[in-house]
């Protein structure tokens, strides 16, 4: 058994993804592991909603953390370093073997996240998790393993692959989502014009730090929304007091126009340009990613906007390659203009065949 002062070895990394995206998550994880000089191999079951990278030689989880930055993984909604796998959980008492296995790690934790794959089988366990979560937290608190007042400690992940098998692992709050399974529970605002509004809400929370949200999403700032109709993204911006120029040949919801904060222009998002620079460019046009990426990079390079959130609609296959190709196109344009930038890309819970990107001048 290891002690708290010598962090427990990790056997690998587990990332959770949207079912159907395992191949992309696996390619990406393998590439990140190889860049971090971690030897091992991935195990991928199509449709499972998760991917495991197994290390050839287990290593202290802190070392792996230093070498591989989980936040950079696009297709991972949530990830952790694997400490143990508990098999053959008896249906009548899953608490005792899990409690023992958690004690055997010798670790202490700031929080416990109970998770399942985002599949139908996983969802079938949600009722059990709701009852089981407080029980597990209770015994971990009694055992001195759970210390919510010590946020520097890692979080414990208990990932129930099925009713009989659990993966135990660790991550730090800064490395992953604060929502179990990386799934935000966002309520659809009743007056928002479309469900896509939730995508931009999630993007703000996931791709911007709390400080960035505060300083860049406030009344008085300006935005352009390319491909705005019927207005779900514009709604997110106006609800924070920004003034929006909405570009789309289609109609905008009348409630949005009634805010007085939106100017609707029927124009082509690829050729229209603002008279004055704006703070934000958002773009949800359904177009080839290799057309969108250079368009956004050009807005930033020429100073038409300071920052942008945009979607890249992906092909059905080789999505990871396509995202990397777009990353290259952005780098090419901004490097040529001598501009330093940040680019964060994530396959959000509300994204389907697309990823959402945040691009900003440094
Ligand atoms: N973000 C919107 C919302 O939250 O309601 C949904 C946008 S919808 C997915 C894509 C929109 O892009 C369509 O309304 C379409 O008319 C618009 N669009 C596609 N190509 C465009 C172009 N070249 N110029 C302007 N709008 C375009």
pLDDT in tens, 20-42: 999 999 999 999 999 999 999 99
Residues 6+ apart with CB under 8 A from 19: 47, 48, 49, 117, 118, 119
Q: Are residues 99 and 218 in the same domain?
A: no
Q: How many domains does the chain have?
A: 2
Question: Does 199 participate in catalysis according to the annotation?
Answer: no
Q: Are residues 164 and 50 in the same domain?
A: yes
Report how far residue 131's alpha carbon sits from residue 220's, in angstroms, rounded to the nearest whole number: 46
In a domain, 91, yes or no: yes
Please write the tens of the pLDDT for every residue from 117-154.
999 999 999 999 999 999 999 999 999 999 999 999 99
In a domain, 279, yes or no: yes
Report how far residue 112's alpha carbon sits from residue 313's, in angstroms, rounded to the nearest whole number: 34
- Is residue 329 within a helix (H) or strand (E), and if so which, with residue range? helix 319-336
**Residue 315 burial by Cβ neighbours in a 10 Å radius (0-12, 13-18, 19+):** exposed
From 123, 199, 276, 313, the catalytic residue: 313
248 lines ligand 1 (CB under 6 A): yes
Task: Note the pLDDT of residue 316.
Answer: 82
- Main-chain dihedrals φ then ψ at residue 194, nearest 5 degrees: -155, 160
193 lines ligand 1 (CB under 6 A): yes
Number of neighbours of residue 37 by Cβ within 10 angstroms = 8
Q: Are residues 309 and 341 in the same domain?
A: yes
Q: Are residues 204 and 169 in the same domain?
A: no
Q: Are residues 130 and 203 in the same domain?
A: no
Distance from residue 269's CA to the centre of ligand 1 (Å): 9
Given a cut of 80, whether residue 84 has pLDDT beyond it is yes
* Confidence category of residue 7, pLDDT binned at 50, 70, 90: confident
Number of neighbours of residue 34 by Cβ within 10 angstroms = 11
Q: Are residues 32 and 92 in the same domain?
A: yes
* Confidence category of residue 5, pLDDT binned at 50, 70, 90: very low
Report how far residue 63's alpha carbon sits from residue 195's, in angstroms, rounded to the nearest whole number: 41
Residue nearest (by alpha carbon) to ligand 1 atom 12: 227
Which of 182, 205, 230 lies at the terminal end of a domain, its last residue? 182
Q: Are residues 43 and 14 in the same domain?
A: yes
Task: Look at the chain and count its residues.
Answer: 362
Q: Are residues 40 and 168 in the same domain?
A: yes
Q: How far is CA 38 from CA 22, 84, 175, 302, 325, in A?
A: 20, 18, 18, 40, 25
Domain span at 29: 9-182
- Main-chain dihedrals φ then ψ at residue 198, nearest 5 degrees: -70, -30
249 lines ligand 1 (CB under 6 A): yes
In a domain, 247, yes or no: yes
Report how far residue 296's alpha carbon sits from residue 359's, in angstroms, rounded to the nearest whole number: 8
In a domain, 188, yes or no: no
Given a cut of 70, whether residue 313 has pLDDT beyond it is yes
CATH number at residue 255: 3.40.50.150
Calculate Rg over the CA atoms of the chain: 22
Q: Are residues 209 and 97 in the same domain?
A: no
Please write the tens of the pLDDT for every residue from 211-264.
999 999 999 999 999 999 999 999 999 999 999 999 999 999 999 999 999 999
Q: pTM (2 decimals)?
A: 0.95
In a domain, 189, yes or no: no
- Main-chain dihedrals φ then ψ at residue 330, nearest 5 degrees: -65, -45
Q: Are residues 210 and 121 in the same domain?
A: no
Measuring CA to CA, which residue among 156, 92, 78 is closest to residue 128? 92
Report how far residue 63's alpha carbon sits from residue 158's, in angstroms, rounded to the nearest whole number: 21
Q: Are residues 26 and 161 in the same domain?
A: yes
231 lines ligand 1 (CB under 6 A): yes
CATH number at residue 154: 3.30.70.2810
With a pLDDT cut of 90, the percent of the chain lying above it is 96
* Confidence category of residue 189, pLDDT binned at 50, 70, 90: very high
Distance from residue 195's CA to the centre of ligand 1 (Å): 14
Q: Are 170 and 107 in contact (CB under 8 A)?
A: yes
Which of 182, 208, 223 lies at the terminal end of a domain, its last residue? 182
Q: Are 314 and 355 in contact (CB under 8 A)?
A: yes
In a domain, 190, yes or no: no
In a domain, 3, yes or no: no
Q: Are residues 118 and 248 in the same domain?
A: no
In a domain, 192, yes or no: no
Which of 182, 205, 237 lies at the terminal end of a domain, its last residue? 182
227 lines ligand 1 (CB under 6 A): yes
Q: Are 146 and 99 in contact (CB under 8 A)?
A: no
């Amino acid at each position: 058994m290891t002690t708290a002062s010598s962090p427990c070895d990790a056997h690998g990394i587990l990332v959770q993804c949207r079912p159907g995206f395992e191949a992309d998550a696996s390619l990406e994880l393998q590439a990140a592991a190889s860049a971090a000089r971690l030897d091992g191999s991935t195990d991928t079951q199509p449709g499972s909603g998760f991917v495991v990278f197994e290390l050839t030689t287990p290593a202290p989880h802190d070392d792996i953390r230093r070498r591989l930055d989980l936040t950079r993984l696009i297709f991972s909604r949530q990830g952790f370093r694997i400490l143990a796998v508990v098999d053959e959980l008896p249906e009548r008492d899953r608490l005792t073997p899990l409690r023992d296995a958690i004690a055997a790690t010798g670790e202490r934790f700031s929080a416990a996240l109970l998770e399942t794959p985002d599949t139908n089988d996983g969802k079938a366990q949600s009722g059990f998790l709701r009852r089981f979560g407080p029980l597990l937290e209770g015994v971990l608190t009694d055992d001195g393993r759970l210390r919510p007042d010590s946020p520097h400690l890692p979080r414990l992940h208990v990932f129930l692959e099925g009713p009989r098998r659990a993966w135990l692992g660790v991550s730090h709050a800064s490395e992953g989502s604060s929502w179990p399974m990386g799934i935000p529970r966002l309520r659809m605002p009743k007056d928002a014009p479309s469900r896509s509004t939730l995508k931009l809400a999630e993007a703000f929370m996931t791709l911007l730090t709390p400080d960035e949200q505060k300083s860049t999403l406030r009344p008085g700032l300006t935005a352009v929304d390319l491909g705005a109709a019927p207005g779900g993204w514009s709604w997110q911006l106006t609800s924070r007091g920004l003034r929006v120029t909405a570009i789309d040949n289609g109609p905008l919801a009348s409630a949005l126009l009634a805010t007085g904060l939106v100017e609707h222009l029927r124009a082509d998002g690829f050729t229209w340009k603002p008279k004055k620079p704006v703070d934000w460019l958002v773009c949800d046009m359904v177009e080839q990613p290799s057309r969108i990426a250079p368009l956004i990079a050009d807005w930033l390079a020429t100073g038409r906007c300071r920052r942008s959130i945009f979607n890249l609609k992906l092909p059905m296959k080789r999505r990871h390659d396509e995202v990397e190709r777009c990353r290259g196109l952005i780098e090419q344009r901004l490097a040529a203009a001598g501009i330093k930038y940040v680019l964060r890309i994530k396959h959000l819970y509300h994204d389907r065949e697309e990823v959402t990107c945040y691009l900003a001048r440094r």
